[in-house]
Amino acid sequence: MKKLKRVYVEITNVCNLSCSFCPKTKKETRSLTINEFEHIVKKVEKHTDHLYFHVMGEPTLHPNLLEFLKTANAHNLFVNLTTNGTQIKKIAPVLLECLPRKVSFSLHSYEGNNNKISLEEYLKPIVEFAKVATQKNIIVEFRLWNLKNNENKNLLNGQILHFIVNELNLDKTLLNVLHEKSGVTLFPNCYLGFDNEFMWPDETLNLNLSSVYCLALKNQIAILSDGTVVPCCLDYNASITLGNIFNESLEDILNSDLAKKMLLEFKNRTPVCKLCQNCNYAKQKFM
């Protein structure tokens, strides 16, 4: 049995948006080369079945996305891709050819930006893609934040859901699910996923959590665009560097003293790392 349920791969940290909720990476702008991605795949294929193209950056901007998907397929790895959806018209043929396991659209990104296109212009190609992709057994998820902890946020959720329901000719009772936290199945292979907005972990938050459980290293790791391996997908600035996949084996990285120490700390809910002690996501999910 493979140890890791998911390996996040930041194929690029370049993004075409500037979302209000995104902390922005402090690392140098970088994208993986074809050779680097092939190297990563060979290093991780013994450890996981699932790659997640998601940390920082917009993966559909990568010029070699087609080659990356083909490489993953050749190594029997399932690709799960998270996107803001702005490039879907351009990238749809690539996705429909290579058939990733799942494409998740972060629809809350629209409200997090000053947009030059209307909400309908943004949503329509995404919904059209969903109609075709789901017929090819690609799982499509529309993701929204639904927690009303700020009256000035998530104001467009109702309009977004109304548009989706109308475009897909769905049951109008679905318009009543905005405040459900888990989400709902819209039709086979298509889901509406809800979650609470969260603050990214930050050593300056002063949460000082003394007891934190986390699935980092147990179920997941993340590999940044420079090859740095970190415990989880939220460590976008590599505050906790476990090693580098370009010059170390994943076995050595996962068996390092630091990795084993952190895994034990998470098991005992006693994290020592400052970043983990100030992780609001872990506080929301596991406390």
Which pLDDT does position 198 carry in this prediction? 73
Which pLDDT does position 125 carry in this prediction? 98
Which CATH number covers residue 186?
Answer: 3.20.20.70
Task: Count Cβ atoms within 10 A of the Cβ of residue 177 and give its class: 0-12 exposed, 13-18 middle, 19 or more buried.
Answer: middle
Residue 253 lies in a domain: no
Residues 130, 120: Cα–Cα separation, whole Å: 15
β-strand partners of 229: 223, 243
Alpha-carbon Rg for the chain in angstroms: 19
Tens place of pLDDT per residue across the chain (287 aa): 578 999 999 999 999 998 888 888 889 999 999 999 999 999 999 999 999 999 999 999 999 999 999 999 999 999 999 999 999 999 999 999 999 999 999 999 998 788 789 999 999 999 999 999 999 999 999 999 865 555 455 678 889 999 999 999 998 888 887 666 678 899 999 999 988 777 888 888 888 888 888 999 999 999 999 999 999 999 999 999 999 999 999 999 999 999 999 999 999 999 889 999 999 888 777 66
Residues 21, 56: Cα–Cα separation, whole Å: 12
Residue 187 lies in a domain: yes
Residues 231, 218: Cα–Cα separation, whole Å: 9
Residue 205 lies in a domain: no
Which pLDDT does position 154 carry in this prediction? 62
Which pLDDT does position 48 carry in this prediction? 98
**What DSSP string describes 6-41?**
EEEE-SB---S---TT-----SPP-B--HHHHHHHH
Element spanning 55, H or E: none
Residue 247 lies in a domain: no
Residue 64 lies in a domain: yes
Q: Please count the structural domains in the chain.
A: 1
Which pLDDT does position 39 carry in this prediction? 99
Residue 15 lies in a domain: yes
Element spanning 57, H or E: none
Order of strands across the sheet that contains 102-106: 184-187, 190-195, 139-145, 102-106, 78-83, 50-53, 6-9, 220-223, 228-230, 243-244
Residue 276 lies in a domain: no
48 DSSP 8-state letter: B
**Crossing angle for the helix pair 119-135 and 157-167, nearest 10 degrees?**
50
Which pLDDT does position 146 carry in this prediction? 67
Cβ neighbours, 10 Å, residue 63: 9
Q: Are strands 102-106 and 78-83 parallel, antiparallel or unpaired?
A: parallel
Which pLDDT does position 123 carry in this prediction? 98
Nearest alpha-carbon partner for 138 in 95, 170, 107, 169: 95
**What DSSP string describes 219-249?**
TEEEE-TTSEEESSTT-TT-SS--EETTTS-
Residue written as token pair 């979650």:
195
Residue 83 lies in a domain: yes
Which pLDDT does position 14 carry in this prediction? 97
β-strand partners of 52: 8, 80
Q: Which domain holds residue 51?
A: 6-195
